[in-house]
């Protein structure tokens, strides 16, 4: 039997990047499209990538050729006239899918009642569903409210607001009813939609077990993170003002915050039993379970986020703060791998020893165990203790350590080695998941110390590998001010 061939659009997007591994796991032949295939990189190696822009009909033909089921997971929110772009994209896609003989389009749209005054974002999602369904290809339109998962833009707004604001001014939209859905459940529905029996166009509302208000979502998130949060109601706060506020306190741009907040005035709950009838095997989880999984998912995501093919992500990543130092070295990759695995046990790898001493005393003051130099001899294994770190992952070209320091949040330090011709590049990334406002302030306060420490640490490791390779010292040192840039840039 030939494998079903599926196409996933928007491969760099949040939903697609969670769906693709699940489809591969089902044994389907997966092709993906993006306007930026380089960003898809090595994240989905078992797929073929086609460069395609839904606003360019010619680019859709090769993408859709030979495809049985095509997932439409694209939106233009953030662009200047997103409604017009989404309309054009949907028309192009419906026509190209019909020409290519695609059997089914699976589209993920938004919940909301048709008789409500829908926000521009939800209206546009509706319109895309309608345009796709007007074509000749069968369409399964799943409609969801907020997806709870690390990287889901709507969930990130909940996360940033709750983490950063001990007291929140509550506009009216905090009382709107929402039925959020967990990422894993959503992916199950999307995968299931590919194998439904043929049955014409269908619209299926999907949601988690709980119907909540936005206020309850914020307080529920805070409870799970051990944060105390207060919400003060005010009679008037326009979506526009709220969006400016969100832009101020979170990294989300106004052009994304505005349509999202506009949409919060619309009740988004499932009103029929179509999902239960069509997908009887799926029992969606509640909000707390979904948030707990999202917080775990954030850590799992460290893997993908720092994969060698990925471009540098400056500043922040899904609620984590990041310091990234990329240092080219004349040493070969194998030697560099050995050097990163020899880390710890004495102070030779850590620059600015006095700064670490001060940090150790602070750890004592705040009830931690203090920074202790300790390192078992021999190769590092998962779970081993290295000074004030625990090994979370170890491969010949990668080491991930979790800090055991007393910090308001959690911190990781990772090294990856990427071979170059000649030499290699050491990619050092510090990740910090701040807890609440104090956690964010801690990162800011430590920044003047962290910058030289992290830079010097990466450079010292690179130099060490050069020395042990018998290479003349210099490339890594000369590149001091280039740390944090990609190898290609640094070598220019």
**125 lies in the binding site for ligand NAP (CB under 6 A):** yes
Please tell me the chain's helix, strand, coil percentages from 3-state DSSP, rounded to the nearest 5.
45, 20, 35
**Rg (Cα) of the chain, in Å, rounded?**
25
**218 vs 391, which CB is nearer to ligand NAP?**
218
**Rounded to the nearest whole angstrom, what is the least distance from the CB of residue 223 to ligand NAP in the complex?**
21
**Nearest distance from C-beta of residue 248 to ligand NAP, angstroms:** 21
User: Is residue 207 within the footprint of ligand NAP (CB under 6 A)?
Assistant: no
DSSP string, 41-91: TTTSTTSEEEE--TT-HHHHHHHHTT-SEEEE----TTSTTHHHHHHHHHH
Burial of 239 per CB tally in 10 Å (0-12, 13-18, 19+): buried
57 binds ligand NAP (CB under 6 A): no
Q: Is 49 in the site for ligand NAP (CB under 6 A)?
A: no
Is-contact 70 9, C-beta < 8 A?
yes
The answer to whether 147 contacts ligand NAP (rule: CB under 6 A) is yes
DSSP for residue 104: E
Give the residue with the Cβ less far from ligand NAP, 36 or 353.
36
Among 53, 267, 310, 338, binds ligand NAP (CB under 6 A): 53
Find the helix packing angle between 153-164 and 254-263, rounded to 10°.
100
Judged by CB, which is closer to ligand NAP: 110, or 297? 110
In the complex, the smallest distance separating the C-beta of residue 268 from ligand NAP, rounded to whole angstroms, is: 9
Specify the stretch interacting with ligand NAP by CB under 6 A; choose among 152-160, 369-377, 424-432, 433-441. Answer: 152-160
Helix axes 287-305, 214-225, angle to 10 degrees: 60
What is the 8-class DSSP label of residue 172? G
73 belongs to the binding site for ligand NAP (CB under 6 A):
yes
C-alpha to C-alpha distance for 486 and 461, rounded to whole angstroms: 17
Of 20, 23, 50, 54, the one binding ligand NAP by CB under 6 A: 54
The alpha carbon of residue 339 and the mean position of all alpha carbons in its chain are separated, in whole angstroms, by 30
The count of chain residues that interact with ligand NAP, using the rule CB under 6 A, is 28
Which position among 34, 266, 298, 429 is part of the footprint of ligand NAP (CB under 6 A)? 34
Q: Check residue 204 for interaction with ligand NAP (CB under 6 A).
A: no
Task: Give the contacts of 102 (CB within 8 A, at least 6 positions apart).
Answer: 7, 64, 67, 68, 69, 70, 137
Q: Which of 8, 30, 89, 320 binds ligand NAP (CB under 6 A)?
A: 89
> Should residue 13 be labelled a site residue for ligand NAP when binding is judged by CB under 6 A?
yes
348 binds ligand NAP (CB under 6 A): no
Residue closer to ligand NAP (CB basis): 73 or 371: 73
Sequence length of the chain is: 492
**Does 270 participate in binding ligand NAP (rule CB under 6 A)?**
no
Residues 274 and 260: their CA atoms lie apart, in Å, by: 26
317 touching ligand NAP, by CB under 6 A: no
Q: Which residues contact 455 (CB under 8 A, 6 or more apart)?
A: 325, 480, 483, 484
State in angstroms the smallest separation of the CB of 13 from ligand NAP.
2
The residue range among 35-43, 410-418, 439-447, 461-469 that interacts with ligand NAP, by the rule CB under 6 A, is: 35-43
Minimum CB separation of residue 14 from ligand NAP in Å reads 4
Q: Please answer whether residues 15 and 73 qualify as being in contact, where contact means their C-beta atoms are separated by less than 8 angstroms.
A: yes
Q: Are 434 and 164 in contact (CB under 8 A)?
A: no
Its sign, for the CA torsion 148, 152, 156, 158, is negative
Task: Decide: is 267 part of the binding site for ligand NAP (CB under 6 A).
Answer: no
Interface segment toward ligand NAP; rule CB under 6 A; list 142-150, 158-166, 216-224, 433-441: 142-150
Q: Which stretch binds ligand NAP (CB under 6 A): 73-81, 314-322, 374-382, 476-484?
A: 73-81
Using CB under 6 A, list all residues that contact ligand NAP: 9-10, 12-16, 34-36, 39, 53-55, 73-76, 89, 108, 110, 125, 144, 146-147, 152-154
């Amino acid at each position: 039997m030939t494998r079903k061939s599926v196409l996933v659009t928007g491969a760099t997007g949040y939903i697609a990047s969670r769906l693709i591994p699940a489809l591969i796991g089902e044994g389907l032949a997966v092709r993906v499209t993006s306007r930026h295939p380089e960003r898809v990189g090595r994240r989905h190696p078992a797929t073929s990538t086609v460069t395609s822009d839904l606003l360019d009909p010619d680019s859709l033909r090769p993408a859709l050729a030979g495809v049985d089921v095509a997932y439409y997971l694209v939106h233009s929110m953030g662009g200047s006239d997103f409604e017009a772009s989404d309309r054009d994209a949907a028309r192009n896609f419906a026509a190209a899918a019909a020409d290519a003989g695609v059997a089914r389009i699976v589209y993920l749209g938004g919940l909301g009642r048709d008789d409500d005054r829908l926000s521009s974002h939800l209206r546009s999602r509706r319109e895309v569903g309608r345009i796709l369904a007007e074509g000749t290809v069968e369409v399964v339109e799943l409609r969801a409210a907020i997806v709870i998962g690390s990287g889901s833009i709507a969930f990130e707004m909940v996360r940033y607001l709750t983490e950063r604001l001990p007291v929140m001014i509550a506009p009216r939209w905090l009382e709107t009813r929402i039925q959020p859905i967990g990422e894993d459940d959503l992916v199950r529905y999307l995968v299931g939609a590919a194998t439904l029996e043929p049955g014409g166009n269908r619209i299926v509302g999907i949601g988690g077990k709980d119907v909540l208000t936005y206020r309850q979502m914020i307080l529920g998130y805070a409870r799970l993170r051990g944060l105390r949060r207060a919400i003060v109601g005010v009679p008037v706060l326009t979506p526009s003002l709220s969006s400016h506020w969100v832009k101020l306190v979170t990294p989300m741009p106004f052009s994304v915050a505005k349509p999202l907040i506009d949409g919060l005035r619309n009740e988004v709950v499932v009103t029929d039993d179509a999902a239960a009838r069509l997908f009887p095997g799926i029992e969606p989880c509640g909000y707390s379970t979904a948030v707990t999984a999202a917080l775990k998912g954030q850590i799992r995501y460290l893997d993908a986020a720092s994969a060698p093919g990925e471009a540098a992500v400056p500043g922040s990543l899904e609620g984590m703060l990041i310091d990234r130092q990329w240092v080219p070295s004349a040493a070969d990759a194998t030697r560099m791998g050995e050097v990163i695995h020899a880390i710890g046990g004495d102070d030779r790898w850590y620059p600015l020893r006095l700064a670490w001493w001060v940090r150790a005393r602070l750890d004592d003051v705040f009830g931690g165990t203090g920074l202790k130099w300790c390192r078992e001899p021999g190769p590092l294994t998962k779970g081993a203790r290295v000074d004030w770190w625990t090994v979370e992952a170890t491969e010949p070209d990668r080491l991930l350590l979790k800090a055991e320091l007393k910090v308001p949040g959690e911190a990781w330090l990772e090294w990856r080695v990427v071979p170059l011709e000649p030499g290699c590049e050491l990619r050092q990334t510090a990740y910090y998941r701040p807890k609440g406002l104090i956690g964010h302030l801690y990162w800011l306060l430590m920044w003047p110390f962290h910058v030289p420490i992290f830079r010097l640490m990466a450079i010292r490791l690179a130099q060490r590998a050069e020395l042990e390779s018998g290479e003349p010292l210099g490339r890594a040192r000369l590149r001091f001010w280039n740390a944090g840039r990609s190898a290609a840039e640094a070598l220019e």
